[in-house]
Amino acid sequence: MQRLEDKIAVVTGAGRGIGKEIALLMASLGAKVVVNDLGGNTDGTGTGKIADDVVAEIRAAGGEAVSNTDSVAEVGGGEALVQTALDNFGGMDILVNNAGILRDRTIFKMEESDWDAVIAVHLKGHYCCTRPFANYIRSENRTGGRIINFSSVSGLYGNFGQANYAAAKAGIAGFSRVMALELAKYGCTSNTISPGALTRMTIPLRENRGENVGDSEIESGGPQHIAPICAWLASDASAGITSEIFHTGRGGIAIMQQPKIIKQFKKRGSVWTMDELDQIVPQLIDAKKANVAAADESGKPIEL
């Protein structure tokens, strides 16, 4: 029995890059896949039929897939996506919220349209696709579902020039934690991926720094390195693993820290004075630095 046999998956933004590799791998592991992609440019403009090419590739390899070109940024698009799975395969078990665009600008130059477009595809896109899936799970009492969301170090750490994208990606991590809570009753997990891969989204950034991106770089750092953990999280092997953030790429697989209180002081009956905070805040900062240093040490890669 293959790992994803009898599973039905919807992968958004699966016409190229990371989403395509996830769709190909899931199909090769036995899943029936809805390949969604609007087929646009990196900045979200334009449309195309690239989802059909991925479907053809899956079918040529003996797998089952159908395409969908709706936008994840629209409520109707998310509903149509879930309906495509139900109409063609009779159910849905796995949702991979991967579709994405970029409109990098510093805050000084970021227009409302740049802000809205990026928030719409990433953050609202997660809502648009997850809500109909969650409602389907509840109405059919379909257990064992899997939701895989796409965040980024841009939002989890912060990255210059990406306020719109970082806000969406940090929001997605919060969204994923709430989905884990709200769907736990149905045995549905919700986990977040923080990927690092050479795709059309990131190759120009490398090239702008004067770095060469050839076949050997793609082999060691391409989107195919992101797909395995997504497929594993989509499988029955991951039951009970939920609300986590996995960082992956270039042969690495890691688990990330989540926001948590590291140290705290408490007093009763009166509010903190400025003089007390003069004493306490440096101690909090020191505790945080020690925590970061410990995580840096334990997070060093272990070669296998």
Catalytic residue numbers? 165
> Residue 207 contacts by C-beta under 8 Å, 6 or more apart in sequence?
213
Choices 69-77, 82-90, 131-139, 290-298 (CB under 6 A): range interacting with ligand NAD: 69-77
Q: Which of 80, 184, 201, 256 binds ligand NAD (CB under 6 A)?
A: 201
Q: Please, which residue, 64 or 74, has the CB nearer to ligand NAD?
A: 74
Task: Verify binding: residue 17, ligand NAD, rule CB under 6 A.
Answer: yes
* Whole-number Å distance between alpha carbons of 34 and 27: 10
Judged by CB under 6 A, does residue 63 bind ligand NAD?
no
Q: Yes or no: say if 229 and 193 are a contact pair by the CB < 8 Å rule.
A: yes
Judged by CB under 6 A, the residue of 78, 100, 145, 171 near ligand NAD is: 100
Rounded-to-integer distance, Cα 23 and Cα 26, Å: 5
Contact 232, 238 (CB under 8 A): yes
Q: What angle do CA 108, 156, 173 make, to 5 degrees?
A: 110
**Closer residue to ligand NAD, CB minimum distance, 56 or 293:** 56
Tell me which residue of 193, 186, 228 sits closest to 92, measured CA to CA: 186
Q: How many CA atoms lie within 13 A of 42 on its CB side?
A: 12
Tell the smallest beta-carbon distance from residue 67 to ligand NAD (Å): 11
Please identify, using beta-carbon distances, which residue of 67 and 98 lies nearer to ligand NAD: 98
CB of 39 to ligand NAD, least distance (A): 5
Q: Which residue is nearest to ligand NAD (CB)?
A: 17
Binder among 28, 36, 67, 190 for ligand NAD (CB under 6 A): 36
Tell me the site size for ligand NAD, rule CB under 6 A. Answer: 32
Alpha helix stretches (DSSP H) within the chain: 17-28, 50-60, 75-89, 112-119, 125-140, 153-156, 163-183, 203-208, 215-221, 227-234, 274-298
Residue 46 vs 282, nearer CB to ligand NAD: 46
Confirm if 59 and 65 have CB atoms less than 8 A apart.
yes
Which of residues 63 and 222 has its CB atom nearest to ligand NAD in the complex? 222
Question: Tokens representing 142?
Answer: 């379909």
Q: What is the DSSP letter of 185?
A: G
* Site map (CB under 6 A) of ligand NAD, residues 209-228, x = contact: --------------x-----
Answer whether 23's CB lies under 8 Å from 57's CB.
no
Among 171, 75, 157, 74, residue whose Cα is nearest residue 123: 171
129: contact with ligand NAD by CB under 6 A: no
| C-alpha torsion angle, residues 259, 263, 264, 265 (rounded to 10) | -170
In angstroms, what is the minimal distance from the CB of 232 to ligand NAD?
17
Residue type for position 256: M
User: Residue 227 CB, nearest distance to ligand NAD (Å)?
Assistant: 11
Interaction of residue 98 with ligand NAD, rule CB under 6 A: yes
What is the x/- site pattern for ligand NAD, positions 151-170, by CB under 6 A? -x------------------
Q: What token pair was written down for 118?
A: 């990026």
Please identify, using beta-carbon distances, which residue of 99 and 233 lies nearer to ligand NAD.
99
121 part of the interface to ligand NAD, by CB under 6 A: yes
In the DSSP assignment, the letter for residue 272 is: P
DSSP state of 124: I
- List of residues contacting ligand NAD (CB under 6 A): 12-13, 15-19, 36-40, 42, 44, 71-73, 98-101, 121, 150, 152, 195-197, 199-202, 223
